[in-house]
Amino acid sequence: MSSNPFYRDPSQETWRLFRIMAEFVDGFEVMSRVGQAISIFGSARSKPETPHYQNAEKLSAMLVKCGFGIITGGGPGIMEAANKGAIGADGTSVGLNITLPHEQDANDFQNVSLEFHYFFVRKVMFVKYCVGMVCFPGGFGTLDEFFESKTLIQTGKVAAYPVVLFDSAFWNPLRNFMTETLLEKYSAISPGDVDLFLITDDLEEASNHLRSCVERRRDELAHEPIEQQIGMPPQDRISGEGTRFGQPVKRGSGKHRMPPE
């Protein structure tokens, strides 16, 4: 046994792969049957009497009536509201629950339920099996999911899907930061990056935007020739977790790289 406190037993690390693979297998088998669905995120701390909770429940029901299933993190707050709206509209209501160091209560409005140990496996399920995303006001988890989706869309690793940010008072300051600081002051993003999402306070606008974007994408796919992946260019091939393979990395002379051992 090593005295290094950061040492990890290689044999234990290898066995950990099987738990990771098991979560992917369970997730893929269950989620592949869900059909087109919208992932909804927001604060776990929102109470049923708050407008955000009530709007999430209403929007979820509206989306079910448009033919979508609903995917959430399975917990309380906005997640519960969205699952509740889906159940109330007789739709598919998915809860991707996560085990945490402190107790996590699953809400009672899930007719498809999975439990994950690894956050990164769970996040793959959110992105791989959604055709659109809605973010209500929330904390680090909501922002994490939002920026994860934006990174994948911005870099072309996934086909662009609609992202709606509900509540302009909450989200406009973030967009202003992106425009004034990231874009104009530091040139850290491109001008079009601040247009990769819709900010709204209107449930009808949110629902119509998601529906129209998905329908347009469906029509585009219907007119594309069906090709086997082996004959497709690398940037269009889809990997197992639902992202595009992309182009090989371009490397320089390598004069500063470590030589092989």
Q: Confirm whether pTM is higher than 0.85.
A: yes
Q: Taken in order 47, 31, 146, 203, is the CA torsion positive or negative?
A: negative
Q: pLDDT at position 53, please?
A: 98
Domain count within the chain: 1
Query: Is 143 a domain residue?
Result: yes
pLDDT of residue 213: 97
pLDDT digits (tens, 9 = 90+) for 9-57: 887 888 889 999 999 999 999 999 999 999 999 999 999 999 999 999 9
CB contact set of 220 (below 8 Å; sequence gap of 6+): none
* Within a domain: 253: no
Contacts 24+ apart (CB under 8 A), 202-209: 203/55, 203/58, 203/59, 203/62, 204/62, 206/59, 206/134, 206/164, 206/166, 207/59, 207/62, 207/63, 207/66, 209/162, 209/164
Task: Assess contact for 73 and 96: CB atoms under 8 A.
Answer: yes
- In this prediction, residue 235 carries a pLDDT of 59
* Whole-number pLDDT of residue 43: 97
- The reported pLDDT for the residue numbered 76 is 96
| Domain span including residue 107 | 19-219
Write the DSSP string, 213-244: HHHHHHHHHHTSPP--GGGS-GGG-B-TTS-B
189 in any annotated domain: yes
Report the half-sphere exposure of 194 (CA within 13 A, side-chain side): 19
Task: Answer yes or no: are the C-beta atoms of 152 and 145 closer than 8 Å.
Answer: no
CATH code of the domain covering residue 135: 3.40.50.450
From the list 218, 31, 59, 239, the residue with the least C-alpha distance to 126 is: 31
- Count of CB atoms within 10 A of residue 182's CB? 15
In a domain, 27, yes or no: yes
Q: Please indicate, yes or no, if residue 213 is contained in any of the structural domains.
A: yes
Stretches where the chain sits below pLDDT 70 are 1-2, 103, 223-237, 240, 253-254, 256-261
Indicate whether 78 belongs to any domain: yes
Q: Which of 126, 118, 129, 115 is nearest to 26 (CA)?
A: 115
Q: Is residue 245 part of a domain?
A: no
Q: Does a structural domain hold residue 232?
A: no
Which residue has tokens 């699952």?
Answer: 83
Tokens representing 211?
A: 């529906």
